[in-house]
């Protein structure tokens, strides 16, 4: 039986963080329907593509990304409208984009899934689907899809042979519901890709970056090399596919999916060990590292050399390790991303009170390009080209979510020290100090971790004020927006989406936002509205996690309503993977809990501060509702 606690402390003047949190909920509730009505067709279809003749292998992910965090907002306490419209959007996008060609003989959507593309983009696009599954785990359509999508990659579907179960590899860096997308390489890619370095520096006739960009013949030579070297075999970015397996397990409990996630991740861990501790980014069809890349451990699509380096490699390694740790309750899987982070830190250069770590690796002494304007932080040579040391280049601040996810999983002091090593040591602790924009409107993990370590007490107010300003800015943009819809890009709705969840996830769940390239929502606590029998905080209720440790967490709950009592069920872990040992209420003696949930009753205008003792990663994770 769930322990029930009743708040007894009256709220006088409520703390500003609680007022701001409820204002943020209200602002998003007001803004999203306005944006949805203006920027979609009456039946929910996007206003893009502008032409019925449009076709491309790219851009499907951006359609799904338009609504990526709407089910997440619902799970935090947003109205059911967000879940309903996000669910409808998923169906509408599938139907709409299946009417457009990929340019390779297939529609952009085949059997409700991407027929063949890289996992950097598949992972981004799947964010919406994972959140839909977690928000509504009894939805039979999503359960069936979760099984089917996962089985495109587990080897269980003989008609979609992406996976070689003997060699434990995915056969192509582009893949999907039509199997290995060799065809996507045979008919592309082509060069140039403006703003990026060359993927290879050893192609005959392509002496340097400027020469390839200026000469169509040389550009075609580079494209031919990409097709030859990247078009066969596994790529490290494919580790993001493990979330399809983890998602299916969370919905069904079927061990087949869990076993595949572990099997495939461990194959890459073994390759890492064989490569002196650096994860290689490619393995050939016979299982040999560098088989199609002249023996080099680097050079795959979305690998160490091109186009994003650690940004894509780190997401893949971090997501796969997190999935394995969740599914096995073994935190030693987090050694996988930790070792890569340490390898970069060890090669870092201190500049402007912050460690700049290398994000890419390519042939030593060959990199000579001038970084594009969107790369804010690269350290350059005196000639203005990207600095390369022992093959490593693009020295920039480490994106904070990599360490935030690592620390939140392990709670090890050593991982917190990695935060101290890599964060900016001067200036405003709220500043992003990262090298690229964030599609999830996040990036403030440094400030949040500093708050939890006692170094930034104003963070809750700062992040909530910032999130409110994000919503207002999107509405202001809409008020002034006179862009012709015929000129919209595939990301037009993303740029107008007013749903922003970073502060809510950090402050209420004790977690960073999910890895944007396809991670699950992993957090210390999750809330359910007992009266409405649904996920999320009840109306008028605000929550703030002010402390996290291996053995517990501190959370304050406040009911701002003058007249209505609220009742909240708190779950230990976003997927019930933790267990409450006991709970201490406002400093009183601990009350034994010994379960994965506890209930808090909040009479009108009351608050309660809880210190919950916990055992972490002791329960089988599941999306199943505890109500």
Model-wide pTM > 0.85: yes
> Cα separation of 234 and 284, whole Å?
6
> Distance between CA 311 and CA 343 in Å, rounded?
15
Cis peptide leading into residue 196 (ω within 30°) = no
What percent of the chain stands above pLDDT 90?
A: 89
| Contact call for residues 435 and 372 (beta carbons, < 8 A) | no
Residue 138, classified by CB atoms within 10 Å of its CB into exposed (0-12), middle (13-18) or buried (19+), is exposed
Query: What single DSSP character describes residue 162?
Result: -
How far is 560 from 601, CA to CA, in rounded Å?
13
Phi, psi dihedral angles at 186 (to 5 degrees): -60, -30
Q: What is the pLDDT of residue 2?
A: 86
Element (H, E) at 5: strand 3-6
pLDDT averaged over the chain?
A: 95
* DSSP summary character for residue 94: H
Chain center to CA of 362: 26
Please identify which residue in the block is written with the tokens 């205008």.
605
> What would the mean pLDDT of 602-613 be, rounded to a whole number?
98
pLDDT at residue 189, as a whole number: 78
Nearest-angstrom CA–CA distance, 562 and 287: 65
Residues 157 and 90 sit within 8 Å (Cβ to Cβ)? no
Name the least confident of 128-137, 175-184, 383-392.
383-392
Q: What is the pLDDT of residue 372?
A: 67
Q: What pLDDT sits at residue 209? A: 81
The rounded distance, in Å, linking the Cα atoms of 555 and 546 is 6
Reply yes or no on whether the pLDDT at 377 is more than 80.
Answer: no
Task: Give the chain's domains with CATH numbers.
Answer: 3-11+524-615 (2.60.40.1180), 40-509 (1.50.10)
State yes or no: pLDDT of 299 exceeds 90: yes
The reported pLDDT for the residue numbered 437 is 64
pLDDT of residue 195: 75
Where does the pLDDT of residue 577 fall: very low under 50, low under 70, confident under 90, or very high at 90 and above?
very high
Q: What is the pLDDT of residues 83-107, one digit of tens each?
A: 999 999 999 999 999 999 998 889 9
Helix/strand/coil (H, E, C) string of 495-555?
CCCCCCCHHHHHHHHCCCCCCCCCCCCCCCEEEEECCCCEECCCCCEEEEEEEEECCEEEE
Counting other chains too, the contacts that 107-112 makes at CB distance below 8 Å and 24 or more residues apart are 108/55, 108/56, 108/57, 108/59, 108/60, 109/60, 110/176, 110/177, 110/178, 111/148, 111/177, 112/145, 112/148, 112/177
First CA to last CA across the chain, in angstroms? 12
- Give yes or no for residue 436 having a pLDDT over 80: no
Whether residue 4 is predicted with pLDDT greater than 90 in this model: the reply is yes
Give the pair of three-digit tokens for residue 131: 């959140």
Q: What is the DSSP letter of 333?
A: G
> DSSP of 389-446, one letter per residue?
ETTEEEEEEPPHHHHHHHHHHH--HHHHHHHHHHS-SSS-TTS---SS--TTS---HH
CB 490 within 8 Å of CB 59 = yes
pLDDT in tens, 543-564: 999 999 999 999 999 999 999 9
pLDDT at 190: 81
330: helix, strand or coil: coil
Question: What's the CA gap between 45 and 584, in Å, rounded?
Answer: 50
**Beta-carbon contacts of residue 621 (< 8 Å; ≥ 6 apart):** 250, 326, 327, 573, 575, 576, 577
Looking at residues 534-546, what average pLDDT do you find?
98
3-state helix, strand, coil split of the chain in percent (to 5) is: 40, 15, 45
3-state SS, one letter per residue, for 6-58: ECCEECCCCCHHHHHHHHHHHHHHHHHHHHHHHHECCCCCECCCCCCCCECCC
pLDDT tens for 460-509 read 999 999 999 999 999 999 999 999 999 999 999 999 999 999 999 999 99
pLDDT at 20 over 70: yes
Tell me: pLDDT of 373 over 60. no
Q: Rounded mean pLDDT of 246-274?
A: 98
pLDDT of residue 383: 85
Average pLDDT for 27-44: 96
Q: How many angstroms separate the Cα of 347 from the Cα of each of 256, 280, 338, 597?
A: 40, 17, 14, 44
d(CA 78, CA 84): 11
Sequence-distant (6+) residues with CB within 8 A of 23 are 464, 468
**Model confidence band, residue 290 (pLDDT cutoffs 50, 70, 90):** very high
Q: Smallest Cα–Cα separation from 606: which of 11, 2, 126, 204?
A: 11
DSSP 334: G
pLDDT band at 187 (very low <50, low <70, confident <90, very high): confident
Average pLDDT over residues 296-321: 97
| Tokens read off for 506 | 């950090």
Residue 515: burial class (beta carbons within 10 Å; 0-12, 13-18, 19+):
buried
Helices marked H in 303-399 — which ranges? Answer: 310-328, 335-346
Query: According to the model, what pLDDT value does residue 375 have?
Result: 62
Q: How confident is the model at residue 319 (pLDDT cuts 50, 70, 90)?
A: very high
What does the DSSP assignment read for 178-242? TSS-HHHHHT---S--TTS--S-S--TT--SHHHHHH-HHHHHHHHHHHHHHHSSSEEGGGGGGH
């Amino acid at each position: 039986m769930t322990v029930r606690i009743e708040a007894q402390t009256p709220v006088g003047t409520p703390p500003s963080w609680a007022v701001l949190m409820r204002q943020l909920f209200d602002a998003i509730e007001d803004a999203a329907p306005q944006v949805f009505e203006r920027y979609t067709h009456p039946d929910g279809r996007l206003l893009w593509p502008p032409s019925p003749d449009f076709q491309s292998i790219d851009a499907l992910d951006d359609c799904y990304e338009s609504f990526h965090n709407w089910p997440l907002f619902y799970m935090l306490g947003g109205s059911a409208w967000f879940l309903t419209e996000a669910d409808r959007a998923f169906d509408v996008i599938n139907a709409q984009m299946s009417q457009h060609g990929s340019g390779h003989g297939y529609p952009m959507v085949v059997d409700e899934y991407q027929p063949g593309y890289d996992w950097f983009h598949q992972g981004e696009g799947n964010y919406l689907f994972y959140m839909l599954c977690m928000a509504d785990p009894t939805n039979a359509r999503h359960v069936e899809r979760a099984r089917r999508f996962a089985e495109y990659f587990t080897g269980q579907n003989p008609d979609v042979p992406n996976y070689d179960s003997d060699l434990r590899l995915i056969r192509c860096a582009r893949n999907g519901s039509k199997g290995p997308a060799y065809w996507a390489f045979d008919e592309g890619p082509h060069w140039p890709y403006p703003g990026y370095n060359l993927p290879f520096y050893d192609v005959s006739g392509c002496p340097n970056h400027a020469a390839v960009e200026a000469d169509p013949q040389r550009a075609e030579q580079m494209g031919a090399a990409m097709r030859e070297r990247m078009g066969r075999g596994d790529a490290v970015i494919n580790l993001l596919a493990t979330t399809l397996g983890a998602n299916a397990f969370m919905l069904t409990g079927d061990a087949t999916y869990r076993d595949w996630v572990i099997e495939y991740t461990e194959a890459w861990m073994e390759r890492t060990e064989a490569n002196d501790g650096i994860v290689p980014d490619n393995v050939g069809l016979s299982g040999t590292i560098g088989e199609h890349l002249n023996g080099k451990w680097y050079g795959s699509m979305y690998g160490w050399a091109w186009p994003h380096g650690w940004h894509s490699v780190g997401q893949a390694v971090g997501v796969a390790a997190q999935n394995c740790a969740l599914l096995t309750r073994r935190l030693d899987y987090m050694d996988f991303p930790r070792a890569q982070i340490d390898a970069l830190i060890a090669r870092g250069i201190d500049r402007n009170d912050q460690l700049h770590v290398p994000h890419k690796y390519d042939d030593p002494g060959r990199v000579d390009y001038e970084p594009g304007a969107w790369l804010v932080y690269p350290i350059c040579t005196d000639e203005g080209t990207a600095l390369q040391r022992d093959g490593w280049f693009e020295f920039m601040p480490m994106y904070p979510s990599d360490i935030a996810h690592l620390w939140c999983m392990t709670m090890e002091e050593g991982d917190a020290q990695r935060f101290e090593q890599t964060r900016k040591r001067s200036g405003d602790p709220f500043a992003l100090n990262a090298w690229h924009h964030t599609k999830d409107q996040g990036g403030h993990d440094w400030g949040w971790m500093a708050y939890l370590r006692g170094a930034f007490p104003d963070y809750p107010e700062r992040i909530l004020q910032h999130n409110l300003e994000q919503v207002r800015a999107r509405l202001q943009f809409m008020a002034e927006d006179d862009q012709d819809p015929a000129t919209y890009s595939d990301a037009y709705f993303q740029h107008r989406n007013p749903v922003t969840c970073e502060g809510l996830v950090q402050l209420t769940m004790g977690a960073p936002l999910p890895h944007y390239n396809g991670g699950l929502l992993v957090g210390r606590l999750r809330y359910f509205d007992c009266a409405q029998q649904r996920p999320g905080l009840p109306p008028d209720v605000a929550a703030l996690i002010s402390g996290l440790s291996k053995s517990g967490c501190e959370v304050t709950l406040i009911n701002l309503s003058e007249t209505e009592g609220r009742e909240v069920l708190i779950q230990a872990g976003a997927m019930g993977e933790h267990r409450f040992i006991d709970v201490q209420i406002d400093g009183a003696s601990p009350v034994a809990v010994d379960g994965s949930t506890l209930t808090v009753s909040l009479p009108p205008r009351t608050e309660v501060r809880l210190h919950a003792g916990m055992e972490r990663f002791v329960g089988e994770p599941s999306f199943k509702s505890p109500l």
